[in-house]
Amino acid sequence: MISQDQSRVKSVSIFGATGSVGTSTLDLIRLEPHKYDILVLTANSDVEKLASLAIEFSVKLAVIADERYLPALEAALKSYDIEVAAGAKALVDAAKIDSDWTMAAIVGCVGLEPILAAIERGKTVALANKESLVSAGSIMMAAVQQSGATLLPVDSEHNALFQCLAGGRLDQVRKLTLTASGGPFRTFSYDQMKNVTPEQAVAHPNWSMGAKISIDSATMMNKGLEYIEAYHLFPIGLDKIDILVHPQSVIHSMVEYHDRSTIAQLGSPDMRIPIASALAWPERMETQCEPLNLAHISRLDFEVPDYERFPALKLAHDAIAEGGAKPAILNAVNEVAVAAFLDKRISFLDIAMTCDKILNQYSPAIPENLGDLLAVDTQARVFTHKVIG
């Protein structure tokens, strides 16, 4: 825990500023701009949006990950006193800039090295990027321990658990329950899912999110990744983490204590709410999000997850139970398979099938360090590209 002077301006870096979480973070900062000084914004290829945000917030540094877009970024910012940089190393260097609060909202394991660099500075990291934690959970949590950084979960379920645990301790907990909307195909049979399109799969019934996480929600791999995330963030053992389908996405997760008190966090399904909690933490900020109207919602439903129709859930469960390189392999294969599905190169059901196949075929040694882990990630992607063709 850190003690912060709450009256002081908070310096902020946002990795993945042009995405869904990045945009929501900036929307919140616009509500109280005098409280924040944005040092760094990053994107992958969306130069236009990155440049316009960099100008709006008078940032110090704008980084574009894809180096091909550096000339366009330089041209867009040439009349402004804003530094520009490009490439993977520039992202890591940007994460070393000493901001008080870093939003980790790059999508995919490509966000891992910048996140580690931010954690190593020992300040506050708001973690949206789940793939990096799934892949390198032990490495990341060890870095947090070593640096004394504050890691604030932004994923709505983990942010809910974090809030439910305020005032409690993990050794008092009997069970953590992650809720899941069930995604757009919650009521589909396995056969009905055979021919679903990317357009159908990204249309999440409750949440507005980036394409990759939307597909993960449709396969329910997202909940599997979140299960692994919860294992690292709240180390109480896999047998004490449950998943419950709750189609309305009103209860974002729950903590049951030994005395059978269950504390749940509720709210409208709007990512600005957990982001606001992390941005203002340990304070609270006003937002313009919809208030929760339970009288209007009138009923809340719950179902047990179906591991047959949604095999991704079981793959994630087994990957973290086996440990070692398996979560990193699962994550890497899933990233490649989701991209292939979005490109219409494989079918929806092929996503989990491809993960299953490569998890069975590839059993490397337990990664001992970041280098080993990145090698596993790369190799798993190579195998996946070969399988997909």
Could you list the residues that contact ligand NDP (CB under 6 A)? 16-22, 43-46, 65, 105-107, 110, 128-131, 155, 207, 209-213, 271
Minimum CB–partner distance for residue 360 and ligand NDP (Å): 25
Minimum CB–partner distance for residue 59 and ligand NDP (Å): 14
Residue 291 CA to its chain's centroid (Å)? 24
Work out the number of other CB atoms within 10 angstroms of the CB of residue 288: 10
Residue 131 or 377: the one with the smaller Cβ distance to ligand NDP is: 131
Minimum CB–partner distance for residue 368 and ligand NDP (Å): 25
Residues 6+ apart with CB under 8 A from 79: none
- Are 317 and 230 a contacting pair, CB within 8 Å? no
Residue 16 or 256: the one with the smaller Cβ distance to ligand NDP is: 16
Determine the residue with CB nearest ligand NDP.
Answer: 19
How far apart, in whole angstroms, are the C-alpha atoms of residue 380 and residue 329? Answer: 6
Q: At what angle do helices 370-388 and 130-147 cross, to 10 degrees?
A: 180
Question: Which stretches of 65-143 are assigned E, i.e. beta strand?
Answer: 83-86, 101-104, 124-127
Both structure tokens of 288: 């313009």
Residue 2 or 56: the one with the smaller Cβ distance to ligand NDP is: 56
Minimum CB–partner distance for residue 178 and ligand NDP (Å): 12
Residue 48 or 350: the one with the smaller Cβ distance to ligand NDP is: 48
Q: Which amino acid is at 188?
A: F
| CA-only gyration radius of the chain, Å | 20
Residue 53 or 245: the one with the smaller Cβ distance to ligand NDP is: 53
Residue 155 or 256: the one with the smaller Cβ distance to ligand NDP is: 155
How far apart, in whole angstroms, are the C-alpha atoms of residue 222 and residue 248? Answer: 17
Minimum CB–partner distance for residue 212 and ligand NDP (Å): 6
Minimum CB–partner distance for residue 218 and ligand NDP (Å): 13
Both structure tokens of 293: 């109207």
